[in-house]
Amino acid sequence: MEDEDRRESLREDPHSLSPVQLESIPIDDDLAQLKRGKAARLLATALFSGLAAFGVAKWMENIDGSQAYAAAAERVEEINANQGTALLRCLLPDLQRSQLVDQASLHTALEVASERSGKGYGKQLHQCVLLSEDLSLRVDALDVPKDMATRLSTLRSYASEVDQALEVYRKYLEDPARPYDFVQATPLIERVAIAWTVYEQQRSTLNQVLRTHQ
């Protein structure tokens, strides 16, 4: 009888532990669900942030790449406008660059200048060789994206060939033991004309390709 009264008293006692224990199951479930939901949201946030960061990085990479092509193209154009124009003006001061449209016109202009000045043209070429060396050095210093390296290497080789062709012709003209002779001068003039024409073609092609990547 006393045991029954004690059990009855525990059920009615508001401070009894039994009701708390009975209610703990749904509370634990709610906490677990909250934790799972929070973890899922954190994972989704992390994934989104990672994708966003990757997208920004690729965007910045594309911008940097475009800027590299644009900067290289501008430098090629600057060298052409300054050093290239100065060299042709030295070689043929009476002509505009627009008149030297191809190898044949350049060859003819060099022949006329050589015939008119004879061996004295060598003194004029001495200054032109210095300008050609400056052009070649600036082309050597060009920095282009990696996929343009082969084109730049070709351009450098022809800039160097312009140097060599001019130097060989200058030495011939300034050699006191060799009088000016049209037959001997012609192949030397031809070498200069070919070297410059191919250099110009390679320069123009490189510049165009760089511009298409902007």
Regarding predicted confidence, which is higher, 147 or 45? 147
Q: What is the pLDDT of residue 152?
A: 97
The Cα–Cα gap between 20 and 138 comes to 86
Residue 93 placed within a domain: yes
Q: What is the pLDDT of residue 27?
A: 57
Report the candidate in 42, 72, 55 with the shortest Cα–Cα distance to residue 155: 72
Report the candidate in 147, 171, 151 with the shortest Cα–Cα distance to residue 159: 151
Q: What is the pLDDT of residue 141?
A: 96
Q: Is the pLDDT of residue 4 over 90?
A: no
Question: How sure is the predictor about 36, in pLDDT bands with cuts at 50, 70 and 90?
Answer: low
Report the candidate in 167, 148, 143, 158 with the shortest Cα–Cα distance to residue 199: 158
Q: Is the pLDDT of residue 109 over 90?
A: yes
Q: Total domain count for the chain? A: 1
Residue 17 placed within a domain: no
Residue 141 placed within a domain: yes
Residue 159 placed within a domain: yes
Q: What is the pLDDT of residue 98?
A: 83
Q: What is the pLDDT of residue 8?
A: 54
Mean residue pLDDT of the chain comes to: 82
**Average pLDDT of the segment spanning 197-204:** 96
Degrees to nearest 5, angle at CA 80 with 77 and 81: 85
Residue 167 placed within a domain: yes
The Cα–Cα gap between 32 and 202 comes to 70
Q: Which domain holds residue 89?
A: 72-212
Regarding predicted confidence, which is higher, 16 or 105? 105
pLDDT digits (tens, 9 = 90+) for 148-183: 999 999 999 999 999 999 999 999 999 999 999 999
> CA dist 43 to 34, 39, 46, Å?
14, 6, 5
> CA dist 44 to 34, 51, 212, Å?
15, 11, 39
Residue 51 placed within a domain: no
> CA dist 97 to 36, 81, 160, 199, Å?
76, 11, 21, 15
Q: What is the pLDDT of residue 99?
A: 86
Q: Spell out the SS3 assignment of the chain.
A: CHHHHHHHHHHHCCCCCHHHHHHHHHHHHHHHHHHHHHHHHHHHHHHHHHHHHHHHHHHHHHHHHHHHHHHHHHHHHHHHHHHHHHHHHHHCCCCCHHHCCCHHHHHHHHHHHHHHHHHHHHHHHHHHHHHHHHHHHHHHCCCCCHHHHHHHHHHHHHHHHHHHHHHHHHHHHHCCCCCCCHHHHHHHHHHHHHHHHHHHHHHHHHHHHHHHCC
Residue 64 placed within a domain: no
pLDDT digits (tens, 9 = 90+) for 51-66: 444 443 443 344 467 8
Q: Is the pLDDT of residue 205 over 50?
A: yes
Residue 59 placed within a domain: no
Q: What is the pLDDT of residue 53?
A: 46
Judged by average pLDDT, the poorest of 32-41, 48-57, 120-129 is 48-57
pLDDT digits (tens, 9 = 90+) for 64-80: 678 999 999 999 999 99
Regarding predicted confidence, which is higher, 144 or 43? 144
Q: Is the pLDDT of residue 140 over 60?
A: yes
Q: What is the pLDDT of residue 89?
A: 95
DSSP code, position 102: S
